[in-house]
Chain A
């Protein structure tokens, strides 16, 4: 073979061309059955005659599709299910999310693409690579835990049908977003993820704070989206394409007179995604929105909402605008430093006895955590090594433990509706397991042993910064880690203090009547705690993303 190549270069090129063509055929999998064969038949057709119908690999798009279909099914079913059986809707939604998660399993090779241009089969709008799969796992898993936490609320305060529809629709959008590889799909996915979220925040009927939070969230978010759209239109105008990979090549060839327009377009596009990650200065909506929203929705926003933001940011920066790394690199680095500092300092200033201080603290700390998540993206601008994996690994860790913390907060909110941090005092005496889990989650967020996964996730982020030569950012982050430790540890310490009024020396079996924890919340806490403990024992499970190229 080698000698033949050496002798006959022409034969070698045809050979390679044939291989490439073969690779573009979607692999016919036994699982996909008829749909897939049909799709591959279409591609074969399109290879011979130019065809405008794009092939669809249904298996590849299954995760967001299942979520969307179940969302519609739940909405329709809501009309026919009697009030006494509304619980079934929630179970259906949870089942749908589980199914969507299962649909990720056959994709684990991470080599599928679909909605490809018939003229240029390399350029696709949907890609199920490892990055997509990791973020989809995060988003769908986050939505599943949110659903578990909401199962009780929907029986009493929230309208069940609408709630489940909105949650699943938003999750579908969020799952579509990391897979999209053109700007139009990206913006549509962003809006599908965001619009239901506004409604979810304002869903507490007759609650003024809830509507106010929704309005705040809506107005600031819509402004950001408008700015993004303007940026997208500028980029489209200068490059003439919406596909991210095409933009990357064509931005390099922009003629001089359009250069300013292209740069403005890049900057404006980034702003919208920066808003979603709640980066400074687009973070002011966070605390009020989290406090006003139903607690599970605050959890959802803090995890899934952020995942939407930073995965979009990664896609546009690393895939679409790599040529402008000298513009967005420093900008994101500064943004990361400001975000973590503002978030942590504000979290530090939370008074323990203020109403809803627990949720407020989690909200501000999530702003701080968003700063850490941005660090590897900034590092990607400075270094040829792939740094994005560090962001993904950190985000997966953060998702598990932050949802866990919100789950415990939801449990405490049942007995202490004001959810002050001081309400957590003596939790160990009443609910020892929940207190231990909460302590573990908080220490993971702080990044101190025994929260080993939190520590190593931070180490990966640090190492990406050091690797990229961003020493100053690493030092800023180091200071922030110490600030964050103060409030996380303070909260942890409160968990194990003796309860108010009781003497320091507690005796076992004090006879305090403990409200039975609802099983859905218990399952959520157990699930997140198991994940966090398993990750701490074997961090390679998520950190392997940091070592490989995800795209």
Chain B
């Protein structure tokens, strides 16, 4: 939009990756005089807000400076040799695919830092909390910005340790076990992924993603591509997560603090699907073509499985935890993303990328809301919360209830809100999959996926009915009398998500205009 010189753009991109790391180091040091605030805890939390805020501003300037006429071109690229022995280069750049994810990450991390400033999760000192949050941000931003396979792996791994500690230190019950499950699953997946990445790098002679994508798999034999896609696919599928490799996710979400859940669902899961789009599709298309039907099959099983699990949890008397329910709904939503990718068509992949962002916004909001509910009621257990008649959130805290209903409706994919377009496009892609894929099979997948949307609507509406509706029991003495509605800081953290959900729903071209040219180029490889 505005012409910002390339070197400034380069600087900004490097800035958003390096500064969180420096900020993390600074968070461990005592606050300098003049910035002490009311106490060490307040000072360090404020430090977190400042740093993530600066990153968000830098990301927004990056968007402004991004050449929107050529979103398929890599912009703000830096390419420096780092480890010559392994041919690892610090190669950074953004295009229409990574830019929205960068902004989403910067935004969600900032909102999380802001939320924690007012509502620090209970646990040890906030110093380490802020430092880990910043390392996490740096790792996720780096994942979306690097263009070197080994660097991608490094960034992919970088988020593990901070997330482990966020869950294990500041989480709820069963947090140790959940944190272990999270890190062991992901690590096992990612070492297998490393083998696939190495195979590609060694057989083709370069780790550069742009060169490999331009090559479009021509330098790799069919069997190499098959093994590489299988290995990389497993690593990414654990992260996404794809059914049946998802079982770490519900536990991690249930145990994680609110902020951890938001970042896990909003950003970390996207690293898996981003890897599919950025690495697997363009670099090994032949291998992907072989595995696409299987991926699609697992994806639709995930959609149905996630919805059925949610229905079971939402049922009265099932003792379902709301956070666990939203985690399972993530499995379903990510199923749509994977289905879109598996079609290997521009429509499907665009839908997948759109659904990615939408899921980040909506599920981020849902986790914030459920976290707020848990703080107020002291539990996220649906039965304790709602009882037989319903929790009557509309009556007690109308704004909170309204927001929850809004997020649920957005999540089920109501047209006009962000959740709709991605799933619609993914299904549409399955209607007419890429050449070489079995169309009747994908039509079946489409039909099953469509049925999945109905199930999604069903459980989300049940949740809304049980939590938001119902009559207020006047006779209960134990009732916590003053039941706080949405606080000002909560409003501040949630409103950007609400606004963006509406914006993306009403004006999907904002996102699709960015992603579509880049996707077209990726799928065509060097041919265009």
Counting CB contacts under 8 A, is A506 at the interface?
yes
A467, B202: Cβ atoms under 8 Å? yes
A543 CB contact (under 8 Å) in B85, B183, B202: B85
B124, A489: Cβ atoms under 8 Å? no
A449, B85: Cβ atoms under 8 Å? no
Counting CB contacts under 8 A, is A374 at the interface?
no
Within 8 A of A (CB), among B172-217: 180, 183-184, 187-188, 191-192, 194-195, 198-199, 201-202
Measured between beta carbons, the chain A residues less than 8 angstroms from B194 are: 459, 462, 478
Known: A466-B199, A498-B124, A543-B85. A449 touches B183 (CB 8 A): no
B157 CB contact (under 8 Å) in A455, A466, A504, A540: A455
Counting CB contacts under 8 A, is A463 at the interface?
yes
Q: Could you tell me the distance in whole angstroms from the C-beta of B319 to the nearest C-beta in chain A?
A: 28
* Residue of chain A at shortest CB distance from B24: A450
B168 CB contact (under 8 Å) in A486, A493, A538, A544: A493
0 or 1 for each of B309-351: is its CB under 8 Å from A? (1 = yes):
0000000000000000000000000000000000000000000
Measured between beta carbons, the chain B residues less than 8 angstroms from A271 are: none
A466, B184: Cβ atoms under 8 Å? no
Measured between beta carbons, the chain A residues less than 8 angstroms from B153 are: 459
B154 CB contact (under 8 Å) in A443, A452, A504, A505: A452
B195, A475: Cβ atoms under 8 Å? yes
How far, in whole Å, are A474 and B125 apart by their CA atoms in the complex? 40
A460, B86: Cβ atoms under 8 Å? yes
Q: Could you tell me the distance in whole angstroms from the C-beta of B204 to the nearest C-beta in chain A?
A: 13
How far, in whole Å, are A389 and B227 apart by their CA atoms in the complex? 27
A544, B84: Cβ atoms under 8 Å? yes
B198, A466: Cβ atoms under 8 Å? yes
How far, in whole Å, are A91 and B261 apart by their CA atoms in the complex? 55
Q: Could you tell me the distance in whole angstroms from the C-beta of A34 to the nearest C-beta in chain B?
A: 40
Measured between beta carbons, the chain A residues less than 8 angstroms from B85 are: 389, 393, 460, 539-540, 543-547
B86, A443: Cβ atoms under 8 Å? no
Q: Could you tell me the distance in whole angstroms from the C-beta of B496 to the nearest C-beta in chain A?
A: 30
B123, A449: Cβ atoms under 8 Å? no
Counting CB contacts under 8 A, is B442 at the interface?
no
Measured between beta carbons, the chain A residues less than 8 angstroms from B135 are: 450
Counting CB contacts under 8 A, is A284 at the interface?
no
Q: Could you tell me the distance in whole angstroms from the C-beta of A61 to the nearest C-beta in chain B?
A: 29
Measured between beta carbons, the chain B residues less than 8 angstroms from A479 are: 188
Counting CB contacts under 8 A, is A448 at the interface?
yes
A456, B83: Cβ atoms under 8 Å? yes
What does DSSP make chain B's interface, helix, strand, loop or mixed? helix
Known: A456-B83, A546-B85, A547-B85. A462 touches B183 (CB 8 A): no
Most buried by B among A466, A485, A486: A466
Known: A459-B194, A466-B195, A485-B184. A449 touches B157 (CB 8 A): yes
Interface size grouping (class) on chain B? 35 or more
Within 8 A of A (CB), among B35-83: 40, 82-83
Q: Could you tell me the distance in whole angstroms from the C-beta of B420 to the nearest C-beta in chain A?
A: 38
Known: A478-B191, A506-B124. A485 touches B86 (CB 8 A): no
* Residue of chain B at shortest CB distance from A475: B195
0 or 1 for each of B464-488: is its CB under 8 Å from A? (1 = yes):
0000000000000000000000000
B198, A505: Cβ atoms under 8 Å? no
Counting CB contacts under 8 A, is A232 at the interface?
no
Known: A450-B161, A482-B188, A506-B124. A462 touches B150 (CB 8 A): no
Measured between beta carbons, the chain B residues less than 8 angstroms from A475 are: 192, 195
Measured between beta carbons, the chain B residues less than 8 angstroms from A489 are: 161, 164, 183
Within 8 A of B (CB), among A499-545: 504-506, 508, 538-540, 543-545
Known: A485-B184, A505-B124. A463 touches B202 (CB 8 A): yes
0 or 1 for each of A99-135: is its CB under 8 Å from B? (1 = yes):
0000000000000000000000000000000000000
A448 CB contact (under 8 Å) in B82, B161, B199: B161
A449, B139: Cβ atoms under 8 Å? yes
Most buried by A among B83, B88, B184, B227: B83
How far, in whole Å, are A183 and B518 apart by their CA atoms in the complex? 62
Measured between beta carbons, the chain A residues less than 8 angstroms from B164 are: 489
Measured between beta carbons, the chain A residues less than 8 angstroms from B180 are: 486
Measured between beta carbons, the chain A residues less than 8 angstroms from B168 are: 493
A485, B187: Cβ atoms under 8 Å? yes
Within 8 A of B (CB), among A380-395: 389, 393
How far, in whole Å, are A449 and B88 apart by their CA atoms in the complex? 16
Counting CB contacts under 8 A, is A274 at the interface?
no
Q: Could you tell me the distance in whole angstroms from the C-beta of A457 to the nearest C-beta in chain B?
A: 10
A482, B202: Cβ atoms under 8 Å? no
Within 8 A of A (CB), among B348-362: none
Measured between beta carbons, the chain B residues less than 8 angstroms from A540 are: 82-85
Counting CB contacts under 8 A, is A324 at the interface?
no
Most buried by A among B124, B154, B158: B124
How far, in whole Å, are A448 and B161 apart by their CA atoms in the complex? 8
Counting CB contacts under 8 A, is B160 at the interface?
yes
B202, A443: Cβ atoms under 8 Å? no
0 or 1 for each of A437-479: is its CB under 8 Å from B? (1 = yes):
0000001000011101001100110110011000100110011
Counting CB contacts under 8 A, is B372 at the interface?
no
How far, in whole Å, are A543 and B82 apart by their CA atoms in the complex? 11
Q: Could you tell me the distance in whole angstroms from the C-beta of B437 to the nearest C-beta in chain A?
A: 28
How far, in whole Å, are A547 and B88 apart by their CA atoms in the complex? 12
Counting CB contacts under 8 A, is B511 at the interface?
no
Measured between beta carbons, the chain B residues less than 8 angstroms from A474 are: 195
* Residue of chain B at shortest CB distance from A505: B124
Measured between beta carbons, the chain B residues less than 8 angstroms from A543 are: 83, 85-86
Measured between beta carbons, the chain A residues less than 8 angstroms from B123 are: 504
How far, in whole Å, are A493 and B175 apart by their CA atoms in the complex? 13
B184, A463: Cβ atoms under 8 Å? no
Counting CB contacts under 8 A, is A496 at the interface?
yes
Counting CB contacts under 8 A, is A304 at the interface?
no
How far, in whole Å, are A469 and B40 apart by their CA atoms in the complex? 55
Known: A455-B154, A456-B83, A544-B85. A504 touches B139 (CB 8 A): no
Measured between beta carbons, the chain B residues less than 8 angstroms from A539 are: 82-83, 85-86
Most buried by B among A448, A449, A467, A474: A449
How far, in whole Å, are A547 and B202 apart by their CA atoms in the complex? 13
Counting CB contacts under 8 A, is B14 at the interface?
no
Measured between beta carbons, the chain B residues less than 8 angstroms from A485 are: 183-184, 187
Counting CB contacts under 8 A, is A481 at the interface?
yes
How far, in whole Å, are A118 and B194 apart by their CA atoms in the complex? 51
How far, in whole Å, are A496 and B127 apart by their CA atoms in the complex? 12
0 or 1 for each of B74-115: is its CB under 8 Å from A? (1 = yes):
000000001111101000000000000000000000000000
How far, in whole Å, are A486 and B161 apart by their CA atoms in the complex? 12
Counting CB contacts under 8 A, is B524 at the interface?
no
How far, in whole Å, are A505 and B165 apart by their CA atoms in the complex? 16
Most buried by A among B85, B188, B194, B199: B85
B154, A449: Cβ atoms under 8 Å? yes
* Residue of chain B at shortest CB distance from A439: B161
How far, in whole Å, are A538 and B86 apart by their CA atoms in the complex? 12
23 sample A-B contacts, Cβ–Cβ < 8 Å, listed by A number: A389-B85, A393-B85, A448-B157, A448-B160, A448-B187, A449-B154, A449-B160, A449-B161, A450-B161, A455-B154, A456-B86, A459-B194, A459-B198, A460-B85, A481-B187, A482-B188, A505-B125, A539-B83, A540-B83, A540-B84, A540-B85, A543-B86, A545-B85
18 further interface pairs, Cβ-Cβ under 8 Å (given A393-B85, A449-B139, A486-B180): A448-B157, A449-B158, A452-B154, A455-B154, A455-B157, A456-B83, A456-B88, A459-B194, A462-B195, A463-B198, A466-B195, A466-B198, A475-B195, A478-B188, A481-B187, A496-B165, A539-B82, A539-B83
Q: Which residues of A contact B (CB under 8 A)?
A: 389, 393, 443, 448-450, 452, 455-456, 459-460, 462-463, 466-467, 471, 474-475, 478-479, 481-482, 485-486, 489, 493, 496, 498, 504-506, 508, 538-540, 543-547
Closest 6 CB pairs of A and B: A547-B85, A543-B85, A478-B191, A449-B158, A466-B198, A482-B188
